[in-house]
Chain A
Amino acid sequence: MSENKEGNFLHPEYETLKRSEIEALQLERLQATVRHCMNNEFYRKKFAEAGITPDDIKTLDDVRKLPFTTKQDLRETYPFGLACVDLRECVRLHSSSGTTGNPTVILHTKKDLDEWANQVARNLWMVGLRPDDVFQNSSGYGMFTGGLGFQYGAEKLGMLTVPAAAGNSLRQIKFIKDFGTTAIHAVPSYVTRLYEVMCEEGVDPRRDTKLKVLAIGAEPHSEEQRKRIEEMMGVKAYNSFGMSEMCGPGVGFECPEQNGMHFWEDYYIVEIVNPETLEPVADGEIGELVLTTLCREAMPLLRYRTRDLTRVLGRTCPCGRNHVRLDRMRGRSDDMMVLRGVNIFPIQIEKILMQFEELGSNYLITLTTDDQNDNMTVEVELAQPTDDYKQLQNLEREIRRRLKDEILLTPIVKLVPRGTLPVNEGKAVRVVDKRKVYQ
């Protein structure tokens, strides 16, 4: 793979393909992937049920003839039922926690890991990181793919890489200062936590660090949250999309335009479908993201239903990459709360809260039942201390009013002191559902 080390592209031969060239490459890789899937009994059975053979894939649109794959399929074939190669060829697996059923397992060959690292390296190069940068990965390691995924990608790019993992903020800050860290990857809630500790320690990220880039992902977050993080740390924060089923981080990433994430279409076929009819939706319309892997050996996934809701923003970009741009995730369809018949996503609440400069970045939504009515309590941390009760009452009233405009029902708003809400080192817990279930 050639490297254009002076340019904006790590993989110019793939990143700058024209749309027609991307689609030709996708068709060729899709045909190879479908043939490869015939090595697996589960897929052979599914193809037979759907009445198709690899020869039926003649155009890119023929991807729609393929059956969908779901998380349920991964659970039912746990642990190795979806492997398309001999287990002796696999060198690693990542597994989900399995809190809501059988865990899911994703297998990787050496080549899979290498391609995964290529995607992450491409992303980090895209936002201006080069081999002389120092990359601190403040993300959980172990099974969480944000750890090893970014580690291998950053090493592949050639940066000095600090596997700091999540937590122990004082040590993180010491590393940032002592090693001259220029880029950090972390979940957004952890970046705000890190900033709070910096403030307590009298560390000014603009004055006292060499930071220039943040990569944030793994938690759905609003544009307002991103802006706030950028203001805190004084650097650009780029949204990263990953999911362990596809490999992990690397699948999609924002370019310097920050107008949607480029999903790498040399690695994936991207479809957006109506989650009920499963028919494709028009560009610009919100639907469920469905991904087909094109380069995976150990465990290719065909038309995998991600449950993430998003929309296509465009298929060209001033940055020179014609890989599809997707909007930030609206949250998973699984995250949607239904309260008194109203559909609400946590991200809608975050978007409003982040508009108040009096408020911190940490919040918790609790759903309860009382007199057979569902109630929502929004606890949010107060960023600035005050001596004025009236100001607090006005603030609560204004938050209630703006939330009602957004979600169409009035939540209970509770202001709490900074540092009160639990800080998670992995993904933040934003919703606690304590409702009684009737019937």
Chain B
Amino acid sequence: MTINQLSIFIENRSGTLIKVLEALKQSNIQIIASTIADTAEYGIYRLICSEPLRACEELKKAGIAVAVSDVFALELDNQPGRAADAIEAFSAAGISITYLYSFLLRGKGILIFRTDDNDKAARVIEENQLSSISENALAGIA
């Protein structure tokens, strides 16, 4: 039910992000969504992309260390209140969201998030009939 997200530790310094993006470009990997927070010294660049496992190999070849982690991807109708409804279900089950980011894809809202208890979160998704979206669907090849 989860999808692969890549996490790359980078220094907060000019020129570090472009090195990652160039490596992905050279490997013809498409970025679907990505996020990075601003901290003083470093950041973790998180991204959802086409062919994440191949992307991971290509980045390693370019000398860039990558962590692969399991995150959830929910597809929501593009209407007010849908995110609140979804998160309410996790909150009610006592699950914490570690981090979250969202974007629009083909007219649907996509929520990407990590939780402190993936097994429990998977059950909540099932019980509440939330619509989780696969890696292939995200990449438009489903």
Chain A contacts to B: CB under 8 angstroms: 200, 382, 384-389, 392, 414-420
Contacts and interface: CB of A to CB of B under 8 A. Distances in A.
B8 A385 contact: yes
Contacts of B41: 414-415
B9 A417 contact: yes
Contacts of B64: 417
A386 B11 contact: no
Nearest to B5: A387
Contact of A387 (B11, B16, B39, B67): B67
Nearest to A417: B9
A415 B10 CA distance: 10
B60 A200 contact: yes
Interface of B: 5, 7-11, 16, 37, 39, 41-42, 44, 46, 60-61, 63-67, 69, 114
Contacts, number: 50
Given A417-B65, A419-B63, A386 B7 contact: yes
Contacts of A420: 11
Given A200-B60, A414-B41, A415-B42, A385 B66 contact: yes
Contacts of B9: 382, 385-386, 392, 415, 417
A386 B42 contact: no
Given A389-B39, A392-B42, A200 B61 contact: yes
Contacts of A382: 9, 65
13 contacts: A384-B67, A386-B7, A387-B46, A387-B67, A389-B39, A392-B42, A415-B9, A415-B41, A415-B42, A417-B8, A417-B9, A418-B65, A420-B11
Contacts of B66: 385
Contacts of A419: 63
B10 A387 contact: no
Given A200-B61, A419-B63, A385 B7 contact: yes
A382 B16 CA distance: 15
A419 B64 CA distance: 8
A395 to B, nearest CB: 11
Nearest to A199: B60
A244 B114 CA distance: 57
A416 B39 contact: no
A139 to B, nearest CB: 24
Contacts of B60: 200
Contact of A385 (B16, B67, B114): B67
Contact of A417 (B5, B11, B37, B114): B11
B10 A417 contact: yes
A416 B65 contact: no
Contacts of B5: 387
Given A417-B9, A417-B11, A389 B65 contact: no
Given A200-B61, A387-B5, A389-B37, 11 more contacts: A200-B60, A382-B9, A385-B66, A386-B7, A387-B114, A388-B44, A392-B9, A392-B42, A415-B9, A415-B42, A416-B11
A417 B64 CA distance: 8
Nearest to A393: B39
A389 B67 CA distance: 13
Given A416-B42, A417-B9, A386 B61 contact: no
A384 B67 CA distance: 8
Nearest to A196: B63
Nearest to A416: B11
A386 to B, nearest CB: 5
B115 to A, nearest CB: 13
A385 B45 CA distance: 11
A392 B67 CA distance: 14
Contacts of A416: 11, 42
A386 B68 CA distance: 8
B101 to A, nearest CB: 13
B37 to A, nearest CB: 8
B33 to A, nearest CB: 15
Contacts of B37: 389
A266 to B, nearest CB: 48
A145 B49 CA distance: 51
Given A200-B63, A417-B65, A419-B63, A389 B44 contact: yes
Q: Which of B7, B9, B44 has the most CB of A within 10 A?
A: B9
